[in-house]
Structure 1
Amino acid sequence: MKRWEAFGAGLAVVASVVSNLGVNIQKYSHLSEAALPLRERRPYIRRPVWWVGFALVAFGSLGDFAAFGFATQSLVAALGGGATLVANVITAQFLNGENLYFTDVGGVLFVILGVVIIACIAEPNVEYPLPELETRFVRTPFVVYIVCVAVCAVSMLATIKGSVANRLKNQVYWSNRRQKKLMKQFELRVQRLEHRLLDMESKLVQITNVAVAPGGGASSAASMKQIREIMGANSPGSNEGADGDVEEGDRETRVAYYYAICSGIVGSITVLLAKCSAIMIALTLKGENQFKYGLTYVFLGGIFVCILVQTHFLNMATAMGDIMTVFPIFQACWISFSVVGGAIFYQEDDEPFSTSDKVFYPLALLSISVGVGLLVQHSSSTAADTKGKGGGNTAAKLRTGGNTTSFEDDVDDDDILLSADASMSSPLLPAGSREEEGYLHLTA
């Protein structure tokens, strides 16, 4: 490895660690915001702490961009990705207090193994002029690769859009606009509850009068039994729906994975554009002005757009899932697509893949895939713990944006919308009251 390539590799490692710290700070911002009442929450772009994390991510991205000027795309992606995975395990534990399981450690080790293999077989760093790069962008193998990547990304986004968790999120978002329409239904429920309370009061008065009547000593025990029966009739139902907790939680966790995969796919396009832009700048500094071509500005503008999209998807993933899991999945997809895309883009037509590349590239990608498979077990362990601890709950729960919405089995969509707004809780009973007749409350 040449000296400048070693410098580029080291720069990529440092930049990736700084970027990971920024992502974890953004996750900390999401967790802090989720602890606030619903009406006090802000979009992530309006949080100062989130912008601190974004500044670190931007600084790390600049370091990655500079590293592309000294080392190959595969080497920068592989070493930077491996370093940030190790940093994420430490930072996620100490900053965000997330649990670490043996499957997480095994998954990270498998991903790092794949990264090391890729780093060892990385192609040499070659600087192509813009006309040559333009030709490579329209070659059939690369066009096929871009189409496959686009289909994969669109499939992930379609899955997200059609998911149960995303539909519930949209329902919660529109709940405030539908309050006027739902108010009549809500008032009817309040009236029913008032009638029920009055009925209970009259029955209790009758029982009390019987209990204090002369010679009513024998009926005292019977009166207490009747009171318990009346109160028991208004207590919550059985623990049906507890199993729904795990199922619905797993569905939302998968949505976080889909966002992480989309972020990794867009990130791989960012890597390719950044490498091409770095070549343009390097050639310009050597006296071959590349800024006279319009495609150079397309590269630079494409980097900016891809970074914005990548950042948004990654923030959606970290807001909905554990960063201990979603960030390695993002990195694994980012590394895999970057390496495959770089190998296809820079492969010479007259130089087919060598035997070692045909063996080690699939081996590296297989190792990364096994690592991702172990990492996604993190949510299963968490769900099992939740089921063991909360098996006696009377309502199924579904996490939404960091909170948990409790709801009975027989409620409809309108009731779920009511639960999204703290102002729509029962005005007659405190949250958690046993006589609330299915009213919905957000719980931490």
Structure 2
Amino acid sequence: MSETASSSPPHLTPVTIPLGHSVTSWWIGIVLSVLGSVGTNLGVNLQKLAINQRLMLAPSQRRRLSQTPLWLLGLFLFLFSNVTGFFSYRYAAQSVLAGLSSLQFLSHVLFARFILKEQTDMNAYYGTALIISGCFFVVLFGKHEARAYDVEDLILLFGKSPFVCYGFVIAFISVISSTTYTQIKQKVARRHGVAKFEPTLASLREGQFLAILYALSSAVWGTFSVVLAKGSSMLFAQVISSFPGPLTYYETYFIPLGLTAAALFWMNRLNHALKLFDVSYAFPMMQICWILFSLLAGGIYYEEFLQWNKRDIGFFGIGICLLFGGVVLICPAAKKDHRTLAQIFYENLVNEVIRPPPAYSQNNANSAESNNLSSVEENHPTKNLYRPLPGNQTDFI
């Protein structure tokens, strides 16, 4: 009897072996991500400072921006910091880096205050405190261990059930949000008896709902750029260490191509949203959706959520909520100048359409009229969240 019992096969518990190999230097990714976010905003603010200083000079004394040392320094910091942020994905988990991306708002407030001498309201300080607290929770309770993958691993991860289900979910969200967005526009047009929808016809609540739907349909696909950026950084490191390495696989080239397509899609949607909607509402919504879906996409695709317990999920969720609240508070009011990063970069390069700083624009003949119009809009009780595009404004899309 004992021999029969001892000869029975033991019960085996299936073990899931994750793909790739562990990368323990997660703190390097945290440092690179912080330096990338801070350096990018510092570079942009230095370029804006060079523009402001140039516009204070007489036209005959102005040099081209490409010949201005301060502007060149800002351009170098901008490009170098973006490369630094790109390599941060090689070492740290994307779910953590997605939360840390909110530090760009904190650094922007500080640089705008001390470099550009812009005024900062109290909400920005409250938002700063929330972002710092949120980053503390995200880094402390987020997944520290990251994994490095080769080309074959990255292809296999695309076909795993969790990520396939995530793809179906975001496709459903995209279809529903886009369809509802179109239906609301058609409803507004029919209500006012016009053939084509006009942004100024939407009410306050309709504008809010449209901004949310637009942000959702944009972020669900735009955040794939973050997923593919992490994969591209891994492949780039492998090419350097073992040339040609991944270059011998044709699948390798689809990853940077997808990264470029997703990044261009997001930049186009972000710029269009900030032109179409009120900046004080559209910008926070776009960034909140960006942080949320980049966190989910990276955590699911790279299997970063597998080893989380209830405590980690709870405190990490608290950190993300604090970050969202800080982003909402730290975004300035719509009455300030809110050109997007793409617009600023484009304007700097072409050295043409540049808005003068407040001190320079006081002598503008139309300043009194524009101030009167802005005061009427701010005090109007039925102001909606749509912004009509001025007919004489250059469209950068």
TM range (shorter): 0.5 to 0.7
SS of the residue aligned with 2:154? Answer: helix
CA-CA distance at 1:84 after TM superposition: 0.5
Of 92, 95, 101, the residue aligned with 1:74 is: 95
Contact 1:65-1:275 within 8 A present in 2 as well: yes
- In our comparison, the structure showing a higher alpha carbon Rg is 1
Contact 1:265-1:337 within 8 A present in 2 as well: yes
Structure 2 Cα separation of the partners of residues 251 and 273 of structure 1: 34
Residue 339 (structure 1) aligns with: 295
Structure 1 Cα separation of the partners of residues 46 and 265 of structure 2: 19
CA gap of 1:160–1:88, structure 2 versus 1, over 3 A, is farther
- The number of aligned residues is 299
Of 120, 133, 136, the residue aligned with 1:116 is: 136
One-letter amino acid of the structure 2 residue matched with residue 312 of structure 1:
N
CA gap of 1:85–1:388, structure 2 versus 1, over 3 A, is closer
Residue 277 (structure 1) aligns with: 232
Residue 296 (structure 1) aligns with: 252
Contact 1:246-1:386 within 8 A present in 2 as well: no
Structure 1 Cα separation of the partners of residues 46 and 104 of structure 2: 14
CA-CA distance at 1:299 after TM superposition: 0.7
Structure 1 Cα separation of the partners of residues 75 and 201 of structure 2: 33
Structure 1: give runs of 5+ residues left out of the alignment: 28-52, 176-244, 380-384, 404-419, 422-444
One-letter amino acid of the structure 2 residue matched with residue 119 of structure 1:
V
Q: What is the RMSD of the two structures over their aligned residues, measured on CA atoms?
A: 4.8
One-letter amino acid of the structure 1 residue matched with residue 319 of structure 2:
A
SS of the residue aligned with 1:276? Answer: helix
- Superposition pairs of residues 244-323 of structure 1, within 5 angstroms: 248-249=203-204, 251-252=206-207, 254-287=209-242, 289-321=245-277, 323=279
Using the size of structure 1 for normalisation, the TM-score is 0.53
Contact 1:74-1:119 within 8 A present in 2 as well: no
CA-CA distance at 1:399 after TM superposition: 5.3
Of 127, 132, 142, the residue aligned with 2:153 is: 132
Contact 1:15-1:61 within 8 A present in 2 as well: yes
CA-CA distance at 1:272 after TM superposition: 0.8
- Superposition pairs of residues 26-425 of structure 1, within 5 angstroms: 60-79=81-100, 81-90=101-110, 105-107=125-127, 109-120=129-140, 121-164=142-185, 248-249=203-204, 251-252=206-207, 254-287=209-242, 289-321=245-277, 323=279, 325-347=281-303, 352-371=307-326, 389-390=379-380, 400-403=387-390
SS of the residue aligned with 2:301? Answer: helix
- Superposition pairs of residues 7-26 of structure 1, within 5 angstroms: 7-20=28-41
One-letter amino acid of the structure 2 residue matched with residue 338 of structure 1:
S
Structure 2 Cα separation of the partners of residues 360 and 270 of structure 1: 27
Structure 2: give runs of 5+ residues left out of the alignment: 1-22, 49-73, 335-374, 393-397
SS of the residue aligned with 1:152? Answer: helix
CA-CA distance at 1:255 after TM superposition: 3.9
Which has a greater percent of helix? 1
CA-CA distance at 1:374 after TM superposition: 6.1
Structure 2 Cα separation of the partners of residues 90 and 322 of structure 1: 23
